[in-house]
Amino acid sequence: MNRFDNMLGEMCSIDREASKEGWLNEMHPLVKLLVTIWYICFVISFKNNMLTGILSMSVYLIICFLMADISLYKCLKRMRTVLFAFFIIGGANILFSENFSTGVTGAAGFWCKGVMSVFAVYILIVTTSIDDICEALRMLHVPGLLVTVIMLIYRYINILIKETKRLSESYFVLSPGQKGIHIKAWGQFAGNLMLRSIDRAKRVYDSMNMAGYEWRILSGNRKKYKLGAGSLMWLFVWTGVIAVFRIIPVFELVGNMLAG
Partner 1 sequence: MDDYGIIIKKMSFCYVKDNYIFKNMDLAIKKGESVGIVGANGVGKSTLLRLIVGLEAGYEGHISVSGIDVTKKSLPMVRKKAGYVFQDADSQMFLSHVEDNVAFGPSNYGMEQEEISACVKKALCETGIEHLKKRSVYQLSGGEKKLASIACVLALNPDIIMFDEPSVTLDPKNRRKLIHVLGRLDKTKLIASHDLDFILDTCDRTILLSRNGVISDGKSRDILLDKGLMEGSGLELPLSVLGR
Q: Judged by CB under 8 A, does residue 145 bind partner 1?
A: no
Question: Site for partner 1 (CB under 8 A): which residue of 213, 225, 239, 241?
Answer: 213
Q: Judged by CB under 8 A, does residue 184 bind partner 1?
A: no
Computed on alpha carbons and rounded to an integer, the radius of gyration of the chain in Å comes to 22
Residue placing its CB nearer to partner 1 in the complex, 74 or 155? 155
Question: Site for partner 1 (CB under 8 A): which residue of 1, 6, 10, 19?
Answer: 19
Residue placing its CB nearer to partner 1 in the complex, 15 or 26? 15
Q: Judged by CB under 8 A, does residue 198 bind partner 1?
A: no
Residue placing its CB nearer to partner 1 in the complex, 48 or 128? 128
Total chain residues near partner 1 (CB under 8 A): 28
Q: Which spans of this chain sit near partner 1 (rule: CB under 8 A)?
A: 8-9, 11-12, 15-16, 19, 155, 158-159, 162, 200, 203-204, 206-216, 219, 221, 223
